[in-house]
A and B are shown apart, each in its own frame.
Chain A
């Protein structure tokens, strides 16, 4: 009987040494003991497919498709930041109300999508500057202060203007920010600019103005 126990013990040690402990790192795909219905025959987002030639489940959108969920983007002002004749808007489109809620949303989105390069203050001193992205400009230089809201919207939607060599230093963010979010970010960028180039006359609240004058 002793031998049987020895054999069992040996088997147990063998199993542990082959299978290892829990949670150890491994580059091998997980073992599926019972792969019941784990993998069903339907296509998943960003996954592969053997059905289509290019091997992916996500299908490219055929040209000319109009999304059923989104309204037709025929409002040039809202969707493209432009007048009907193609000049960038100078004021926010009528359907966008600039209020504290919009600015809060703008701040939230700006911190995620713009701050890594433009910095939390908009001074162009984001973290990537230390790693060699020296071309990121400040929003406060005289040319950028003069950008209209339509031009700011256009920069987010289509990226920065092409350099003479045809290279874009800032790529578009339209895939990450919805149209509403883009206007929110534009409003926030404007607010950031005001922190540097604003004057006393921009303060509309009389009591605030008084307080500011006193603190001077």
Chain B
């Protein structure tokens, strides 16, 4: 009787199993790498209708974030500025700049400036700015160094694990709002005592202010 299969076919089942392991490894590595916000959302920097630069306004001019995002301490939603906010200065500075035509138009007619939203949480997540900002969580924790960005890009993944990492250990991030230099809008501030100093300050704040970020599902999924 002639041989139907060559001798090497004996090793085939083993080789196949081995290959499946390798393939599984590659596939899960790929999903881990690509199927989260870290790939999908981080770095998203849409083209805005006005080439507005945070690097110039917030960084170089040193305008406080709250001058424009004026409701961030009062409401859950951090508003984008009205056209009048821009016109406070731009009726006198660069008043005829073609780059600002959309803003002037909006100020005159009341039609909105079509800014494109960058940071987004899904609608089944409850997020609130004022609870974070008034408890001493700086913008930089969730938005990165906005004051160095010419065009805003999403810097942090804003996934559930990102939120929970901080909610489980808020002391590594909290600022003491009684000190003006630690204001949440001073993005560059780091504790002069390094990580240890930050930790000690944070532990004290958590105790004194009874800070208890929610870790149960209903805290964020209401």
Contacts and interface: CB of A to CB of B under 8 A. Distances in A.
A42 interface: yes
B93 A26 contact: no
A175 B80 contact: no
Contacts of B117: 47
A25 B43 contact: yes
Given A33-B35, A39-B123, A132-B93, A171 B88 contact: yes
B43 A26 contact: yes
Interface of A is mostly: loop
Interface of B is mostly: loop
Contacts of B217: none
B79 A15 contact: no
Contacts of A32: 40
Nearest to B88: A171
A6 to B, nearest CB: 12
Nearest to A54: B111
Contacts of B89: 116-117, 128, 133
Chain B contact-residue range equals 35 or more
Interface stretch (B58-66, B133-141, B166-174, B191-199): B58-66
Contacts of B30: 12, 15
B164 to A, nearest CB: 19
Interface in B2-19: 15, 19
B55 to A, nearest CB: 15
B122 A36 contact: yes
A175 B82 contact: yes
A104 to B, nearest CB: 10
Interface string A25-52: 1111111110011111010111100000
A135 interface: yes
